């Protein structure tokens, strides 16, 4: 095994980044130990804009994961890679229909909700940023609640934790941060509550990261 392949994975993460949180959950579920390098998206005008980090991820976003001699960005691409090289416990169901549903829900959140209310977009919105974020999340959650009523068991798709769940929990945290009324989304709320009781979701939580500010620590 080459030195690069044998090295411990390094995750470049920001405690509050929902995309980083998805990857932290996947690593925890699969029992992969890693070193964490915090990238503060606000301090110093945004550490993700440094030349050093741009060389690592030209999109200047977290997460980035150095693993097995390569550097990957984009949370779902990272999770799919982890799934292929560390298949247990699986995060994509064996049944092709359920697997498609998992990917659909993950994409719904990762493409249809989260990018519209992330930091770079909110900066452009100025004073309207809270209202904008609430609208993006609300329209996305209205659709998601309907979808989950057809797919959910204990979790987003049936009774196995999947990539969809890894996207759901961080997005609900964003909704709560932006004071979205969760009353109309009982299925989302129920699944989120059950997931937050699982150890992998607890240890990867934004309140328990090395770079979590003291006042936000659990």
Over residues 25-78, the pLDDT tens digits come to 999 999 999 999 999 888 878 888 888 888 887 888 889 999 999 999 999 999
Q: Which of 13-27, 115-129, 181-195 has the lowest mean pLDDT?
A: 115-129
Asked if the 9-89 domain carries CATH number 3.40.190.10, the reply is no
Share of the chain above pLDDT 70, in %: 97
Q: Is the pLDDT of residue 123 over 80?
A: yes
Q: Which residue has the tokens 């990867």?
A: 204
Q: Is the pLDDT of residue 104 over 60?
A: yes
Q: Locate the domains of the chain by residue range.
A: 9-89, 96-201
Which band of pLDDT confidence, cut at 50, 70 and 90, is reported for residue 3?
A: low
> What class, spelled out in words, does domain 96-201 have in CATH?
mainly alpha
Res 218: pLDDT: 81
Res 1: pLDDT: 58
Which band of pLDDT confidence, cut at 50, 70 and 90, is reported for residue 183?
A: very high
Q: Is the pLDDT of residue 155 over 60?
A: yes
Q: Is the pLDDT of residue 125 over 80?
A: yes
- DSSP state string for the chain: --HHHHSPPEEEE-TT-HHHHHHHHHHHHTT---EEEE--SSGGG-GGGSHHHHHH-TT--S-EEEETTEEEESHHHHHHHHHHHS-SS-SS-SSHHHHHHHHHHHHHHHHHTGGGGSHHHHHHHGGGHHHHHHHHHHHHHHHHHHHHHHHBSSSSSBTS--HHHHHHHHHHHHHHHTT---TT-HHHHHHHHHHTTSHHHHHTSGGGSTT--GGG--
Res 20: pLDDT: 96
Q: Is the pLDDT of residue 126 over 70?
A: yes
Which band of pLDDT confidence, cut at 50, 70 and 90, is reported for residue 2?
A: low
Query: Which tokens in the block code for residue 158?
Result: 């049936």
Mean pLDDT over each residue of the chain, to the nearest integer = 93
């Amino acid at each position: 095994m080459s030195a690069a392949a044998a090295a411990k994975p390094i995750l470049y993460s920001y405690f509050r980044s929902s995309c980083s949180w998805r990857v932290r959950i996947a690593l925890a579920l699969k029992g992969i130990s890693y070193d964490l390098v915090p990238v503060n998206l606000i301090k110093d005008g945004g550490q993700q804009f440094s030349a050093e980090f741009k060389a690592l991820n030209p999109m200047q976003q977290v997460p980035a994961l150095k693993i097995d001699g390569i550097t990957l960005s984009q949370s779902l691409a990272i999770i799919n890679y982890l799934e292929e090289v560390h298949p247990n416990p699986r995060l994509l169901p064996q049944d092709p229909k359920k697997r498609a549903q998992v990917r659909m829900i993950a994409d719904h959140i990762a493409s249809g909700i989260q990018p519209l209310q992330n930091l770079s977009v909110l900066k452009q919105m100025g004073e309207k940023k809270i209202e904008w974020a609430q609208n993006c999340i609300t329209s996305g959650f209205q659709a998601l609640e309907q979808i989950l009523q057809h797919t959910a068991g204990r979790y987003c798709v049936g009774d196995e934790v999947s990539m969809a769940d890894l996207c759901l929990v961080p997005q609900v945290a964003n909704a709560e941060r932006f004071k979205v009324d969760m009353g109309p989304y009982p299925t989302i709320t129920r699944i989120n509550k059950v997931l937050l009781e699982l150890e992998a979701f607890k240890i990867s939580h934004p309140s328990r990261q090395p770079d979590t500010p003291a006042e936000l620590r659990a």
